[in-house]
Structure 1
Amino acid sequence: MPTTTELILLALVWLVYFLIHSLLASLWVKRMLAQNLPAVMPWYRLLFNLLALLLILPPLAMLWFYRSDPLWQWQGAMAWLAYALMILAVAGFIWSMRYYDSKAFLGILQLRRRQQDIEDQEQLHISPLHRFVRHPWYSLGLVLIWTQEMDPARLISALIITAYLVLGSRLEETKLLLLHGDLYRYYQQRVPGLIPRPWRFLTRKQAERLLAGKEL
């Protein structure tokens, strides 16, 4: 069982990771680099992804070393439900990838084009899952997190990651509002952020009309 000091240290490492991640994803940092170091911009997305992978290794390693007996375990029908939700979440991630430009997501496209501006890297995209929630990957991530059995280290990590996904979605939307204005504001009014609601969604035709600017 990890000590209180170890759990606090784990929480701090997660917080530092998310602080750096949010800062590097901000428009302020991108604009500063575009103005002062434009040669870096074609590499920015690729370097951002590599740094994110590198920096997440310490909290994941701590999570592994601090593993202990679970605080709770899913039993019976709840266990089957948890496993089913996990499988659906993973399948949702895999299925949704077909609606993303993987080269742009990884940063390969920006490097190939020698792209130095920042706005073109933030295109508004409404995939099938985006018609039901504005941040489908965050929603699927929350499902994966909270269907796990929890020991103290996992619970601390789950709480911090959840808080970051909620706060991070708000910060991301502030950026999207600056880039897309009324288009994104209308989208916010029609589609929930993280938790799907049966009465708030866009049909495929409505999403197409919105992206074409005809729903405003």
Structure 2
Amino acid sequence: MRSKSSDGFTLIEIILVIFLVSILFATSTPKFKNAGIASKLTQTKRDHLYLESGLQAYFSDWRGYPRQNDPNDPSQQGLKSLTFPIAYLAEVPKDPFSDSTVYGNPLSDLTEYEAGSGCPPGLASIEFGWPNVNNGTCIHSYLLMGLGPNQSDDTLGNDFWPHGGNSANPQVRLFSYSPTNGSESRGDIYRMMGAFAQGYFQLDDEIIGQPQTKMVVKEDD
């Protein structure tokens, strides 16, 4: 006689069902995960377009972009300038790929996007060692950054944006996320605006612009 469980199934049948369910779970989990990543990528691009609309309106009024934005540094909250005192935007969206552990911020589950700025109005053009100028002229540009699926800040030197010094290797280096390298591969999500082409930085394997030739700081009138 066959050994049966209390509901009439044999032990082998129960094991077979468990095995099949585990296979279905293993094959479906990556699909659900990739769908979630795709949704967050779409949200990041939508957020960047939304932020750009506010940044361009701000630039129109102030002839410059606000200062950089660092979610973990209270002194670098440039994106807040888009909501107060003039409401160019209703709110500053959160990076869907960030969480409280990424930037060491225990106060919220999600943190804002990081950003780099060139020559914000009302501030000295030189803040972090290298001025955001080229031949004595301010480079008005802005860089929005999203963490990407690996939830890691893969951008180097965004505080110097958009000018990476006068050496052969720019201090500003951007590494773009590409799903062809793997759904959770290295790289951030960027949106650049303004006169960034006049700066000096590396975008993946391409160097954009020329090394700085004059250490002259000149703010626009």
TM-score band, normalised by the shorter chain?
Answer: 0.3 to 0.5
- With normalisation by structure 2, the TM-score equals 0.33
User: Which one has the bigger helix percentage?
Assistant: 1
- With normalisation by structure 1, the TM-score equals 0.34
- Which structure is higher in RCO with an 8 Å CA cutoff and minimum separation 6? 1
User: Which one has the bigger strand percentage?
Assistant: 2
> Greater CA radius of gyration, 1 or 2?
2
